[in-house]
Every structure is written in C-alpha cells, then in structure tokens.
Amino acid sequence: MSQLNYKESAVGRARRIVIKVGSAVLSDQSGLRADVIEQLAAQVDTAVRGGREVLIVTSGAVAAGRARLAKLNRTTIAARQAAAATGQIDLMSAWARAFGAHGRSVAQILLTHQDLAEKRRRTNASQTISELFEAGVIPIVNENDTVAVDEIRLGDNDVLSSLVASLVQAQLLIILSDVDGVLTGDPRERSDARLIPVISDPDSEMRGLVAESAESAGPLGVGGMATKLKAARQAARAGIAVIIARGRGDGTINKAIDPASEIGTLIVPAGSRLKRRKSWIAFALRPSGALGVDRGAAEALQSKGRSLLPSGVREIRGDFGGGDCVSLIDPDGIEFGRGLVNYPAADVVKVAGRRSSEISQLLGYKVADEIIHRDNFVLMKELA
C-alpha cells in the first residue's frame, strides 16, 4: 500500500517532531559539514514557521573532535570522551550559526541513560524542553559522551531519539541517515535490494528484516540500520510515527512532514500501543535486580493481566530499592517481564511466599498488597 495512504493520519497532523541526525550525515573524514547543517537548519526553520515544534537529536561531536585530535587512540573510552569534549563545541557552534542565520536561538541538552531513567531527572528534562519550545528556541540533544560510562550510556543516538520522542510526547520521529530508508537487504551484497516505503505493522514486519548489528556502522558512527529499526519500533510502540530517510537528500525534512510527498520508509504507529508509563519502564529503565516467581504467578502475569503478589515470589536477586525496575524470572530461568517493585529487596525477602494480609505484621508498614502492580509491569514480548 502506498505511503501516501498513511501519511495524512500518521504524519500530516504532527505538531511536535523529533529529528535525529547521524554522524554520517553531518560529517566526513575531514570533520563537520557546515553546508549540510545549514541546509537542515533552513528546513527546520520552515517547519517551525509552519506551526511545528522541533527538537533535534544530533550526533557528530566525536567525529568533529577526532578531526581535531587526529593522534587520539580511537579504541579507548577516554579517547572517545576527549574527542566528544573537543567536538561538542564545534558541533553546537555550527548549529548555532546555522539557526542564527534564520534569527533562531538553540539550546544544548546533554543526556545520559540515568537522566531518562530517574523520574526526577526525566521530569526536569521534560520541563526544560517545554520551556524552550514555549520560548521558540530549538532544543538540540546529544548523549553526554564526555562523562558517560558503559553503565549509564544509551549506546547510540538512535535509541536516544526514540526515548526523547516519548519524553516530549512527539507525534513524529524523523531519523536521518546515509541510506534512503529501510531496504530489503544490504545493497553492498544484494543488487536487488529495494526500498520499503511503508512498514504498517512494526511488531511483525520488523522481525528478521535486517541482519546488521551495531558493529556494521560506518567509521563515523556507532549505530547501523539494526539500531535504527530498534529505535523506530520503540517509538512506534509508544504511538509515534517514524520516518527513516537519507539526510543529505534535497528537502528531506520538508518532504517528510508533507502528507503529499513520499520519502524514505514510514513506520506507522503500532495498533497496540504501550501507555507512556509502560513505555518508560520498557525502554528507559534498566533492571536493578530480579525476582524469581513460581509457575502460577508467571502464568497469571503473562496470560491473565494480574499483579505480582508476595505469595508468588520464590527468589530475590540484587539489592534493589522500592520503586526500582526489576526483572521477572519464571521457574525455567527465563526473563519474561520487567516491573517497578513496591518494596526494597530486604523487605521482599521477609514477605516472599506469604499472603498480602501478612505484610503489615511482617514489615511494620504496608505500601501495597502487590509486590509489582500490573500497571507497572511489561512483558518481554513488548520489549522485543
């Protein structure tokens, strides 16, 4: 079915848009491409003048820094962080100059995984971005590579863009890359590879679509098409339309938001959407521990939409606190879900296998009858 049949409903009414721009779009081996940044800024300015709010998730800091620090050993984390620290200045200066030519100001927002996982930081980031939109400023987001370590890194800006799109409740995510969109195969290996204009069911149509891993990315980035599809599926599950397209194309952004134009690959929002809170649990949080449950509890959680009661808990792993995200493990040792736990690990140990009516007596207090409420639980099939 034609992309145009979907665009009016999925894209045409989008008023808040997140645009992710990859390193391969913004830079080459010699550093940043100022001309590309200027062209993209001009298109964003047109979109904003048309009544839309636009946030940019940008890559390019490390690539820009490496061009300046050519002697850096690019294989170490410290070298990457040094390149990011150097290149971030050039990257933001380029964006500021490009938007300044249109009379617009920009704001830099650097994020790590913890910023989006912790509720207070997430709320603060959301409020800051809302104020910037209100003031007519273009928020420009990047991962904070200068200080991020493996435990707090998002891993690539494709994933970051999907999380930010959910954070700001965007209606459209545009991922700009160095390819035309999602193809039926790797064009370097298959001459018959063709563009897929529409993915109408992200749950079923994306599985097995590409074989590339993050390591298949080009020399200037860390994410390949597999990461873009992962980000697109996450956004689609949150009710956000996604377009993946070539970033250096003629008027790519203008065509992406025009219901009468076809460009790239459009991923239509999933029919079965995760609520905003469950989307946050599914994609922004990382488990701080795990709970092993009996077979009855596993079945009730997976098939009957029930909550996890203390009577179903058989094993506690990790030193998590109340409100943390934990994994749910079935009797076969398989993780089947994740959720926010109402009690810290030390107290779950005390009530495990007991009835909810005994919680107050055993702990001296009671937060809830459930260890994990069904509204704070997602199945692994929803994360896949």
pLDDT computed for residue 140 by the predictor: 97
**CB neighbours of residue 337 within 10 Å:** 25
pLDDT computed for residue 357 by the predictor: 95
Instruction: Using CB atoms within 10 Å of the CB of residue 247, give its burial: 0 to 12 exposed, 13 to 18 middle, 19+ buried.
Output: buried
What's the CATH fold of domain 287-383? 2.30.130
pLDDT computed for residue 61 by the predictor: 77
259/79: higher pLDDT? 259
pLDDT computed for residue 333 by the predictor: 94
- Residue 153: is its pLDDT beyond 60? no
* pLDDT tens-digit series, residues 188-219: 777 777 888 888 876 655 655 644 433 344 44
pLDDT band at 1 (very low <50, low <70, confident <90, very high): low
250/186: higher pLDDT? 250
- Residue 221: is its pLDDT beyond 60? no
Q: Given this chain, do its domains 4-278 and 287-383 carry the same CATH topology?
A: no
Distance of CA 120 to the CA centre of its chain: 18
Q: Quote the Cα angle for 114-115-116, to 5°.
A: 90
**CB neighbours of residue 71 within 10 Å:** 6
Is the Cβ–Cβ distance between 20 and 176 less than 8 Å?
yes
Cα distances (angstroms) measured from residue 118 to each of 151, 280, 281, 327 = 14, 10, 11, 17
Highest mean pLDDT among 128-142, 158-172, 261-275: 128-142
What's the CATH fold of domain 4-278? Carbamate kinase (3.40.1160)
* pLDDT tens-digit series, residues 260-275: 888 999 998 866 556 7
* pLDDT tens-digit series, residues 300-345: 999 999 999 999 999 999 999 998 899 999 999 999 999 999 999 9
pLDDT computed for residue 249 by the predictor: 80
Is the full-model pTM beyond 0.85? no
- Give the C-alpha separation, 311 to 296, whole Å: 10
- Give the C-alpha separation, 231 to 11, whole Å: 18
- Give the C-alpha separation, 170 to 15, whole Å: 8
Q: What is the sign of the dihedral through the CA atoms of 71, 75, 81 and 84?
A: positive
**Tokens 């959910």 sit at which residue?**
166
* pLDDT tens-digit series, residues 344-371: 999 999 999 999 999 999 999 999 999 9
Q: Quote the Cα angle for 251-51-280, to 5°.
A: 90
Domain residue extents for the chain: 4-278, 287-383
Neighbouring-strand partners of residue 141: 57, 109
Is the Cβ–Cβ distance between 300 and 312 less than 8 Å?
yes
pLDDT computed for residue 217 by the predictor: 46
Is the Cβ–Cβ distance between 246 and 181 less than 8 Å?
yes
Query: Residues 35-40: what's their mean pLDDT?
Result: 96
Is the Cβ–Cβ distance between 356 and 343 less than 8 Å?
no
- Give the C-alpha separation, 32 to 24, whole Å: 10
Query: Residues 273-292: what's their mean pLDDT?
Result: 80
- Residue 220: is its pLDDT beyond 50? no
pLDDT computed for residue 118 by the predictor: 81
